[in-house]
Amino acid sequence: MNAKKIFLDGKLIDARKELLESLAPGIVKGKGVFETMRVKAWRIFVLENHMERLFRGLRTLNIKAPYSSKQLEQRLYGIIKVNGYKDARLRLAVWKNETRVHAAIVCQKYGNVRGRCRHPRRSHGGNARLRHPAVCRSRSPDPQHFSGVSGRGISAVISGVRRPGTRYSHIKSLDYLCFRHAYAEALKNGFDEAILLNSRGKIVEGSRTNIFFVKDGILYTPAVSCGCLNGITRRMVMRLARRLGIPCKAVAADARGLLEADEAFVTNALLGVMPLTRVNGRAIGRGAAGPITEKLRKAYLTKLQLSCPANAKSV
């Protein structure tokens, strides 16, 4: 735990471990939405996109926001300044229980997440025998650490947990139990991520990522109609692909399509574009970051760096 202060219902309070755990998606009691955001050089990357999705989700759930977008922005930058993290990850949650609407902001240093304990040279094969507990505090894979085909990437497993399609699949809901369960099972068995299928056996998404794969020069990603969240980074990568002349298709794909791909990667707000090099213990393509993955990763990092210049001052 590296959060010092959190924002909860209008107050700055000490970030106790048990409090942080009680505010996690899937644990919070009530209905609501959340956003996870990347802070780089004191700036929140594509904040306007996150705010737009948050308020759209609240309208869908018929929850009246306790603060305006501008007020939330002020509180987000306030918590960054209080905690003093130039590079951070933010989680903003708004939910309603039986009595009232709540809002919480957690700010933690970028790079420290819940993750699998592994030897730095251990391959991502899954089912590794770990000397340490399967879930521990470790550094997240920073997207800038993966360069060329030497990028080791992450591993995933096709989860037995199914992602039921609902009318709320398009919002980033705090109803997160199936994702937490799938992710915990993946970590327990030595993988970095879990990939969930829908009731028809089609790929939906990762427990905390969107999925992309490449076959014969064409970029594929599960269609929103399969039940995936239309992630902010997902949409950005699809636009970057078209700008770079990479054909991109949203499809209903089964696990076989991913397993037989030439390369694959996952996306989210914290990882950006991250190579996915092994699934179910089997190498994807050459088992390393592929050329299209690298091209999109570099384009994404360029956008991130232009939006959040290194010489920026604290807001």
pTM (2 d.p.): 0.87
Residue 182, H or E segment:
helix 177-188
Whether 111 contacts 92, CB under 8 Å: no
- Going 241 to 243 to 248 to 250, the CA torsion angle's sign is positive
Residue 235, number of CB atoms within 10 A of its CB: 14
The answer on pLDDT for 118 being more than 50 is no
Closest CA relative to residue 126, chosen from 135, 136, 141, 116 = 116
196 confidence band (pLDDT: 50, 70, 90):
very high
What CATH number was assigned to the domain covering residues 5-109?
Answer: 3.30.470.10
What superfamily would CATH give domain 121-304? Answer: D-amino Acid Aminotransferase, subunit A, domain 2 (3.20.10.10)
Closest CA relative to residue 273, chosen from 265, 282, 281 = 265
pLDDT tens readout for residues 278-301: 999 999 999 999 999 999 999 999
Considering only residues 76 and 121, tell me which one the structure prediction assigns the higher pLDDT: 76
pLDDT tens readout for residues 232-274: 999 999 999 999 999 999 999 999 999 999 999 999 999 999 9
HEC profile of 31-91:
EEEEEEEEEECCEECCHHHHHHHHHHHHHHCCCCCCCCHHHHHHHHHHHHHHHCCCCEEEE
pLDDT tens readout for residues 179-193: 999 999 999 999 999
135 confidence band (pLDDT: 50, 70, 90):
very low
Cβ-in-10-Å burial (0-12, 13-18, 19+) of 275 comes to buried
Q: 188: which residues sit within 8 A by CB, 6+ positions away?
A: 134, 135
**Rg from Cα positions in the chain:** 19
Q: Where are the domains of the chain?
A: 5-109, 121-304
pLDDT tens readout for residues 202-214: 999 999 999 999 9
Residue 295, number of CB atoms within 10 A of its CB: 16
Annotate 194-222 with b (16+ C-beta within 10 A) or e (fewer).
bbbbbeeebbbbbbbbbbbbbbeeebbbb
